[in-house]
Structure 1
């Protein structure tokens, strides 16, 4: 899968060192809202996560994760995934993160639009969600820019990595 500036690659152990380096480089920003960051900072954890992603992708279960590469430089810049919420609908949730140096240049908006098209056309989705912490203004802005409808807030439904109780904003598109 490709977009104007991005190449989407299925999970591969070849990408694992690149992903680990990007997570370590961007951990201060990522760890504000993403609980998995603290457990993704070692070689062993990173390899295990990538092996799980490869298995999930091959078996069409849990999450279909793609590595994002900038086409011009072939630089690994982040990841985007489709969480399979209900195959019988089909219903998916998009999750994403970006290397700090690439934030603010429209890459995630481009990636969301591309994966959304793929999900509706190739996977025959009826519903796609983007869920984000209510205080993650950048992620909420992506959902709005991509035309997702704000459906509401789930109050006190998760803890942030720092332990604070927080709320989740839910955005969605349907066929």
Structure 2
């Protein structure tokens, strides 16, 4: 895998612009950790082959052109370990949502919190956004901790917000305003 565009977070940890040639590595990462990642994310069962991941990346690249999405690979020691994105980018109202997943082998190391902070910096400084939101299943302890450690403020619980695993699930909403962001 070749990484052409990246920004360092710290030595041996960076965000890379996700490209089509990342599809194989991202799919293999997801495929080897389906049970963990699929607990809270509904796209996992639908991503059955590498081509599904390739199509998702193409969709996100189209979103970049439409100014509705940004997609980054999280790279540690030259290996993709997860993915983070900005979605539902609303340039008129200067807001977006952040989504992410990380292979379980790399969790509990502060990687995702650092990646979220770097994406916030990009969103506020490069895109000129004013507000970022994170939605996390109330049962997803790790994702909720990432939002808190990245200095997002708890907003509310959305009851029965989405349907996953044959049940309705509650979501916590967090937000961060540009004026409260400290690099």
TM-score with structure 1 length normalisation? Answer: 0.93
Cα distance, 1:59–1:6 mapped onto 2, change above 3 Å: farther
Q: Distance in 1 between matches of 2:78 and 2:143?
A: 24
Structure 1 unmatched runs, 5+:
none
Contact 1:25 / 1:100 at 8 angstroms: preserved in 2? no
Native 8 Å contact 2:17 2:71 kept in 1: yes
Which residue matches 1:68? 74
- 1:170 is aligned to 2:170: no
Gap runs ≥5 in structure 2: 1-6, 179-183
Does the alignment pair 1:115 with 2:119?
yes
Residue 133 of structure 1: how far off its partner (Å): 0.6
Task: Tell me whether 50-59 or 80-89 shows the greater mean CA deviation.
Answer: 50-59
In the comparison of the two structures, how many residue pairs are matched? 171
Comparing 163-172 with 1-10, which one deviates more in the overlay?
1-10
Higher relative contact order by CA 8 Å / sep ≥ 6: 1 or 2?
Answer: 1
Q: Distance in 1 between the 2:89 and 2:42 partners?
A: 19
Of 36, 52, 59 in structure 2, the residue corresponding to residue 52 of structure 1 is: 59
Please tell me the root mean square deviation across aligned C-alpha atoms, in Å.
1.2
CA distance in 2, matches of 1:24, 1:164: 24
Q: TM-score normalised to the size of structure 2?
A: 0.89
Work out the CA distance in 2 between the residues paired with 1:67 and 1:59.
20
Give the drift of 1:84: 2.9
